[in-house]
Amino acid sequence: MIPRRSILLSSLALGFVLITVLAYQRGWTDPTIRRVVDRLGLAPGHEARENLVHAPADRGPRPTPDGRLVVPADQQAAIGLGTAVVRAQTEPIRIELLGTTAYDPDTLTRVRPRFDALVSRVDVALGHPVKQGDPLVVLYSASLAEAKTDYQTAETRWRHDRRLLGTREPLANEGAISRQVWADTQSAEIQSRLAYMVARDKLLVYGLTAEQIAEIASEDGTAKAELTIRSPTAGIVINRDAVPGNLYGPENVLLTIAQLDHLWVWGNVYESDLGLVRAGLSWEVQFPYRAESVPGRVEYIADSVDPETRAVRIRGTIANPDRRFKADMLVRTLLDVPPTEGYVEIPRIALVVADGASHVYVRGPDHVDDFEQRTVTVAREQASRVVIAAGLRPGEVVVTTGSLLLAEIFGRIGPAQTSGPAPAGPRGVLQSQPPARAPRAAGHRRLRPAAPCRMPPHLDGVPLVRAAQGGDDPTPARHRMPGSWSPLSRAGEYLPNADLDLRPSARRCGMTPRRARSRSRTRRPGI
């Protein structure tokens, strides 16, 4: 009969294992839980990844003399390797920009007094629509009254001299008056005519019309000091600074009138996307708080970078016939860049960024087991796809699911193991592998080739890959810190917030964990 104590201990051990495996699957990141599950070999995808990364050389991934990597079909099936065909770019690149609306400065009319004056009455309010010729402001000014008086004086003197000139002209022709008197009469008429013209032009500069100048003769008293400013155009009063009883000068703006039948739209383009933008491109202006969108085109690209936003401003025009759009509204503009000849598209998950360079893994054209690491030039990253400017051709096959695992394998098994010399490349991408250790005593779980003593950071014994890939991590690859370490789970997934454990590397390199951690911080490791 089995003792109760043995049954109780067995139940507790089984329960501990089940809770540990459940916690691992739930994504708990406690290093102790992961370490226990990994030691028991119960992690999801554990065997598949162990067989791929630590498989013996006779049946695992092996390099070729030309720098390729051969991954047998059973190993590809074990990790669920996925591929996609490279296709030419057919869809436009859509760039999302933030911006605002604004008034068209060419349609703004600013009403100013042209002399020092007192505002005695304002006939319009803010937001009031006006037509051309409507009265706006009534001014009262002593300068205006003096100018009108000078005009009347000059006009009276000129009329007198003109009549005198007409009277003496026949006498001068008959010789009844001397030539000196006739010359003085002509000179006086010319001087008085010029004085009259100067006085009249001064009133025109003050803003009086010909009709208002003609009515000066009928004005008397304080009426000469008053002037009604009328609207020079039709529009809406969008600004009013005039207050009755205050004094204003030519430097002050009393009213601003705008024509709101259209508005400008300003968008901000950052320098990384500036090469894709040009005048004439179509864009869609979205108003997020109104659930509306208006089509338009790019009309102008600024020649300087805004020092506050560090972006280049571009401008377009939208129609606003019913005045439903206002100035300074926040908008989102979607700029469509047409496809470029020679550009191709791949799924975003196929791109791996390592040491600041973008790589893809291309399947060989003749053998489905051959893979090549190739550096590409990225033109634009979208949510689910990447536009490649150089490095790929339409029709080629690239690895999607499992590309990060191939990046790790390329780092572990480099061309230095082949008969040819190892080509130069980015630090940490291709490195040699030392010879395998001698087999351990019976009872050990697995015989693995020895890993090099390079002190890369580890996540419970799983090396980290200095790479960034789409998928679970929503952050675009170009926005991540170049050369950052990205941990891999047992299933080959990217873990952005996992803890680091350097103890396996410390034991392999024969040093204490404290020394290993110090070395990992002070020396930048390679893959």
Residue 19: pLDDT band (50, 70, 90) is: confident
Structure confidence at residue 22 (pLDDT): 62
State mean pLDDT over 243-266.
Answer: 94
The residue-averaged pLDDT of 203-223 equals 89
pLDDT (tens digit per residue) in 454-511 = 444 433 333 444 333 334 444 444 433 334 344 444 344 444 443 444 444 444 445 5
Q: By CB neighbour count within 10 A (0-12 exposed, 13-18 middle, 19+ buried), where does 506 fall?
A: buried
**What's the CA gap between 333 and 282, in Å, rounded?**
10
Q: What is the pTM of this model?
A: 0.56
Reported as a single tens digit per residue, the pLDDT across 146-203 is 999 999 999 999 999 999 999 999 999 998 989 999 999 999 999 999 999 999 999 9
pLDDT of residue 70: 87
Q: What is the pLDDT of residue 412?
A: 62
Give residue 97's pLDDT: 92
Neighbour tally for 89: CB within 10 Å: 21
Q: What is the mean pLDDT of residues 2-30?
A: 66
pLDDT of residue 116: 94
Place of tokens 């085109």: 297
pLDDT of 331: 94
Give the least confident one: 47-51, 101-105, 163-167. Answer: 47-51
Higher pLDDT, 36 or 131: 131
Tell me which residue of 321, 495, 334 sits closest to 404, measured CA to CA. Answer: 495
User: Which residues lie across from 274 on neighbouring strands?
Assistant: none
DSSP-derived 3-state class of residue 306: coil
Terminal CA-CA length for the chain: 56
Look at 50-59, 147-156, 200-209 and tell me which has the smallest mean pLDDT: 50-59
DSSP states of 96-135 as a string? EEEEEEE--GGGEEEE--SS-EEEEEE---TT-EE-TT-E
Give 438's contacts (C-beta < 8 A, 6+ positions apart): none
CA 336 to the chain's CA centroid: 14
Q: How far apart are CA 229 and CA 450, in angstroms?
A: 93
56: region left, alpha or beta (phi > 0 left; psi from -120 to 50 alpha): beta
What mean pLDDT, rounded, does the chain reach?
A: 76
Count CA atoms within 13 Å of residue 32 on its CB side: 3
Is residue 460 helix, strand or coil? coil
Residue 290: pLDDT above 70? yes
Q: Per residue in 221-252, pLDDT tens?
A: 888 999 999 999 999 999 999 999 999 999 99
pLDDT of residue 360 exceeding 70: yes
- Six-digit token pair at 235? 């529009």
Average pLDDT estimate for 95-110: 93
| Cα separation, 165 vs 177, whole angstroms | 12
Predicted local distance difference test score (pLDDT) of residue 32: 55
Rounded percentage of the chain residues whose pLDDT exceeds 70 = 69
